[in-house]
Structure 1
Amino acid sequence: MTEAAAIARSGGPVTQARLMVDFRRLGVEPGMTVLVHTAMSRIGWVCGGPRSVIEALLQVVGPEGTIVMPAQSSELSDPSGWCEPPVPESWWDTIRASMPAFNPHLTPTRGVGTVAEVFRTWPGTRRSLHPQVSFTAHGPRAVEILSSQPLEDPFGAVSPLAVLNGIGAHVLMIGTGWETCTTLHLAERLSNPQGPTFEDGTAIRVDDERRWVRFRMPQTDVDRFPAVGAKLDGHAILKHGHVGSAPSRLFPVAQAVSMAVEAWSLPAFMA
């Protein structure tokens, strides 16, 4: 959505003060740990842009709260698997040989929105070390959440998502659909830990040298997220509201993961 379109659909500027009111009405409280997904264009015209969204979130959770966001960098993957868009096969070897190694401070996010990208560079924000599907966090629990994310199982039982699941964290979805709900990847891994994998590759630094490494990643399937999301939408654990003009949700990680694991363990969902 263009800025002109955002202005046209807005009844007025969405200010930082308005955002704070909307977050509190939705149920965000001081001291919470919140994994945030944001579709900035759905909020409307925000005075101050992504900065106002981040500052409002930090103000509402306060100094004892922690904000977490996805920081995916899918371009640091094997070019043979690229499809949006694909590149010619004749380019693959050159890309593998010259792709810059993942750097938690310099590698930008991709496909997770402007708020997540601005948050990545926010003073005091930390980032996990997975080259493709890292997370960022700001607050007193950031180190705990980001401390471990295995290369070959970044969403599993030892991951930032697993920590969020164990510490009573919440998910805040601002104008995003269920296909963006990263938390459900943990449910995928818990419901089928021996599920299918695929071969991938990336550039990282090993012993202070850039190397192209090959590894296997779990196969994910976001197409089945909306069906579980529909069940969650009708459950008492989930709170609905608006942030600006964006339909938004707030819900606890642990209960959502538990419900998804139970659903995906049933034959109808496994088919």
Structure 2
Amino acid sequence: MSEADAVEQVDEPGTVSSLASDLRDLGVEAGDTLIVHASLQSLGWVAGGPQAVVDALQDVLTASGTLVMPTHTTQYTDPSVWQDPPVPDHWVERIGESMPPFRPAVTPTRGMGAIPECFRNYPGVVRSEHPLYSFAAWGSAAEDITSDHSLDDGLGDESPLARLYDRGGDVLLLGVGHGSNTSLHLAEYRADVETERTQGTAPLLRDGERVVFEYEDIEHDTDDFGALGAEFEAEVGATQGRVAAATAMLADQPSLIDFAVEWFEANR
């Protein structure tokens, strides 16, 4: 979407104050623990772009709350299976040997959008140390949520997603569907369904040295997340509204994950 298209979407520009007002009307409150998945272009034209969105979220939650966003880095997946774009076979070994180590403070996100990429650079934001599935957090529980993120099963019970669940957090989808809802991955681990396991490697920085770590994980599948999310909203319920030009959904994360566990066991 061009900037001209964004202007055409709205009668008035989005601002920090208007976004904050829309978020409060949706039900976001000071002190909440909130994981956000958002599309900047869905909001229409916003004065300040991603910075305004982050500012608005922080203003509403206040420092007594906690703001969390996924800051994943798919550049650390196996280059032999890359398709968007694929790379020549003779590049694969060299890429694996030369990829800089993942460093939470500097490694950019990939494919996550402008808002989490902006957020990870904010003062006071901390980031978990998983080379694929890191999360960034700001606020009162940021350190607790991001610390000790397990390399194995990076979206499972030793991940920030599980700590959000334990804290009774909420999920906010801003202009995106459940296909982007990372919390549903936690339910994949908890559901009693057969899953394939994979192995991977990624470089991390340890005592100033590049060290390649091995890890295991399940194969994730988001193809049915949309159907799952629609049934959750119909049967359990979620708050629907608008934030600027974007369709927004706010839901209780533990209720969503518990529903998803049962749904996966019945449908996968």
Equivalent residue letter for 1:203: P
Alignment check: 8 A CA contact 2:195 2:218 kept: yes
Scaled by the length of structure 2, the TM-score of the pair is 0.96
CA contact (8 A) 1:104 1:127 kept: yes
5+ long unaligned stretches in structure 2:
none
* Alignment-derived partner of residue 132 in structure 2: 132
Aligned-pair CA distance for 1:152: 1.5
Deviations 1:224-256 (A, max 9, x none): 101110112224541000110100100011000
Residue 195 (structure 1) shift: 2.4
What does 1:54-69 correspond to in 2, within 5 Å? 54-69=54-69
8 Å contact from structure 2 (residues 35, 172) kept in 1: yes
Q: Which amino acid aligns with 1:28?
A: V
Deviations 1:28-47 (A, max 9, x none): 01100100011000000001
Task: Tell me if the contact between 1:35 and 1:68 (Cα under 8 Å) persists in the aligned partners.
Answer: yes
Q: Please tell me whether the aligned partners of residues 152 and 218 of structure 1 are also in contact (alpha carbons under 8 angstroms).
A: no
1:117 maps to which residue? 117
Q: Tell me what 1:36 maps to.
A: 36
- Which residue is equivalent to 2:83? 83
Q: State the aligned residue count.
A: 268
Q: Distance in 1 between matches of 2:246 and 2:59?
A: 20
More off after superposition, 32-41 vs 145-154: 145-154
What residue number does 2:168 align with? Answer: 168
Please, which runs of 5 or more residues in structure 1 have no aligned partner? none
CA deviation map 1:189-221 (0-9, x unaligned): 100486211222212124532133333221100
* Residue correspondence of structure 1 range 141-156 to structure 2 within 5 A: 141-156=141-156
Q: Residue 68 of structure 1 aligns to a residue in which SS? A: strand
1: CA distance between counterparts of 2:193 and 2:158?
12
Q: Which residue of 2 aligns with 1:211?
A: 211
- Hey, what does 1:26 align to over in structure 2? 26
Residue deviations 1:32-68 (CA, integer Å, cap 9, x gap): 0100011000000001111111111111111211100
Partner Cα distance (1:122, 1:264) in 2: 36
Query: 2 CA distance for matches of 1:202 and 1:4?
Result: 40
> Where in structure 1 do 4 or more consecutive aligned residues deviate above 3 Å?
none
Instruction: Tell me if the contact between 2:10 and 2:44 (Cα under 8 Å) persists in the aligned partners.
Output: yes
Work out whether residues 201 and 215 of structure 1, in 8 Å CA contact, stay in contact via their aligned partners in 2. yes
| C-alpha contact 1:131 1:204 (8 A) present in aligned 2 | yes
Partners of 2:96 and 2:223 lie apart in 1 by 29
- Give, in whole Å, the separation in 2 of the partners of 1:12 and 1:207: 51
Q: Does 1:253 align with 2:253?
A: yes
Q: Is this contact kept in 2: 1:97–1:212, CA < 8 A?
A: no
Aligned-partner Cα distance in 2 for 1:156–1:192 = 14
Letter in 2 for 1:34: L
Question: Residue type of the partner of 2:227?
Answer: A
Query: 1:64/1:10 Cα in 2 relative to 1: closer, same or farther (>3 Å)?
Result: same
Give aligned-pair identity as a percent: 39
Map of 1:12-23 to 2, 5 A cutoff? 12-23=12-23
CA contact (8 A) 1:68 1:136 kept: yes
The answer to whether the 8 A contact 1:161-1:183 is kept is: yes
Which residue number in structure 2 is paired with residue 243 of structure 1?
243
Contact in 2 for aligned 1:96/1:212 (Cα 8 Å): no
